[in-house]
């Protein structure tokens, strides 16, 4: 049996768990191809026109898998903790796909609403495995293995390896530290993000991202947050950014966001205000399917040059 996993959205946060789980069940996992112009164009063709680019992309990745697998995984991510839910577009993903792709008849819909409880996650896995005709003990073994794999993946990230891009976040000559913040399915998709992280590393920057912080470090910011937001990924971005700024871990912050993203209207404004208050250079890069590489490169170069000049002036003033 083959299960297709679209290489976007939940993939860039949970694939080490998901892929390992299915593989341990003895199911072949087929991940859609890397994002390309063809996949974006195919997604744009069918998605509702006012959707953000990651959602359009999801349609393209599903189409990329349709005739290659028995089922295509489409999770309905509701909650993975007891404080927030996912963005409404994650909640309505299976419905959106059903309406936009009427011929999509092999969807493996999985509702994930664990509220942070491991037992609920196991129940979800058990139900999914049951759909594929797999029993309790095999599922339990696969579940434990998948959890272990997921912990290992998070550890690597915290040590500075970016698994999806195959790079280390620090070049040995780095002289500037940039916090690159945004949703994982934007930051770590090379095509969609126009390889912003790799570009910064090649410019001699040390890049830090939200996934490089342990959950406890992010939560240390909670007391200082004016308000928690409703959405899980948005809170992750806010907490990490506040930590970078308030503990002086970065020389500047770049917020990478998707055009038309509702939650990011709030996140971006809060980050802008925080950076202004703490005098930390801040840049927003908004991406959609038409954004050009050259324009983004120029903005990144100008931002990094400005930080280097600022640092040099500060050092000169001290000496």
Residues in contact with ligand SF4 by CB under 6 A are 52, 54-55, 87, 89, 183, 233, 258, 261-264
Angle at the Cα of 94 (from 91 to 100), degrees rounded to 5? 120
Those residues with Cβ within 8 angstroms of residue 56's Cβ, 6 or more apart along the chain or in another chain: 40, 43, 44, 47, 289
Q: How far is the CB of 160 from ligand SF4 (least distance, A)?
A: 25
Q: How far is the CB of 77 from ligand SF4 (least distance, A)?
A: 10
If the CB atoms of residues 143 and 233 are measured against ligand SF4, the closer one turns out to be: 233
The strand pairing partners of 81, in sequence order, are: none
If the CB atoms of residues 56 and 206 are measured against ligand SF4, the closer one turns out to be: 56
Q: How far is the CB of 279 from ligand SF4 (least distance, A)?
A: 28
Q: Phi/psi zone of residue 85: left (φ > 0), alpha (ψ -120 to 50 degrees), beta?
A: beta
Strand order in the sheet with 282-287: 205-208, 176-181, 252-258, 282-287
If the CB atoms of residues 74 and 258 are measured against ligand SF4, the closer one turns out to be: 258
SS3 85: strand
If the CB atoms of residues 121 and 267 are measured against ligand SF4, the closer one turns out to be: 267
If the CB atoms of residues 149 and 234 are measured against ligand SF4, the closer one turns out to be: 234
Q: How far is the CB of 202 from ligand SF4 (least distance, A)?
A: 26
Angle between helices 232-246 and 262-278 (to 10 degrees): 10
Q: How far is the CB of 258 from ligand SF4 (least distance, A)?
A: 4
The strand pairing partners of 268, in sequence order, are: none
If the CB atoms of residues 52 and 296 are measured against ligand SF4, the closer one turns out to be: 52
Q: How far is the CB of 55 from ligand SF4 (least distance, A)?
A: 5
Let me know: does 308 contact 175? Beta carbons within 8 Å: yes
Helix (H) or strand (E) holding 311: helix 293-318
* Cβ neighbourhood burial of 159 (10 Å; 0-12, 13-18, 19+): exposed
Helix (H) or strand (E) holding 123: helix 118-131
If the CB atoms of residues 268 and 274 are measured against ligand SF4, the closer one turns out to be: 268
Q: How far is the CB of 51 from ligand SF4 (least distance, A)?
A: 7
């Amino acid at each position: 049996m083959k299960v297709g996993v679209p290489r976007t959205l939940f993939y860039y946060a949970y694939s080490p768990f998901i892929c390992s789980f299915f593989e341990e069940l003895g199911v072949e996992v087929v991940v859609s191809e890397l994002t390309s112009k063809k996949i974006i164009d195919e997604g744009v063709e069918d998605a509702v026109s006012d959707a953000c680019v990651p959602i359009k992309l999801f349609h393209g990745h599903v189409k990329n898998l349709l005739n290659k697998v028995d089922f295509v995984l489409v999770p309905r991510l509701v909650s993975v903790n007891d404080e927030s839910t996912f963005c409404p577009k994650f909640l309505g993903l299976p419905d959106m796909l059903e309406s936009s792709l009427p011929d999509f008849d092999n969807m493996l819909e999985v509702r994930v609403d664990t509220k942070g409880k491991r037992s609920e996650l196991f129940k979800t896995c058990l139900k999914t495995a049951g759909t594929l005709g797999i029993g309790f003990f095999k599922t339990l073994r696969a579940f434990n293995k998948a959890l272990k794999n997921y912990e290992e993946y998070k550890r690597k990230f915290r040590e500075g390896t970016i698994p999806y891009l195959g790079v280390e976040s620090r070049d040995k000559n780095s002289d500037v530290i940039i916090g690159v913040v945004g949703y994982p399915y934007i930051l770590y998709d090379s095509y969609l993000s126009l390889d912003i992280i790799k570009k910064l590393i090649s410019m001699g920057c040390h890049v830090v991202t939200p996934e490089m912080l342990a959950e406890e470090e992010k939560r240390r910011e909670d007391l200082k947050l004016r308000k928690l937001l409703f959405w899980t990924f948005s809170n992750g971005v806010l907490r990490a950014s506040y930590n970078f700024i308030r503990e002086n871990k970065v020389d500047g912050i770049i917020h990478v966001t998707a055009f038309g993203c509702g939650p990011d209207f709030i996140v971006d404004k809060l980050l802008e205000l925080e950076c202004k208050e703490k005098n930390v250079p801040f840049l927003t890069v908004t991406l959609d399917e038409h954004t050009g590489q050259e324009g983004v490169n120029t903005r990144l170069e100008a931002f990094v040059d400005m930080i280097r000049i600022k640092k040099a002036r500060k050092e000169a003033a001290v000496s």
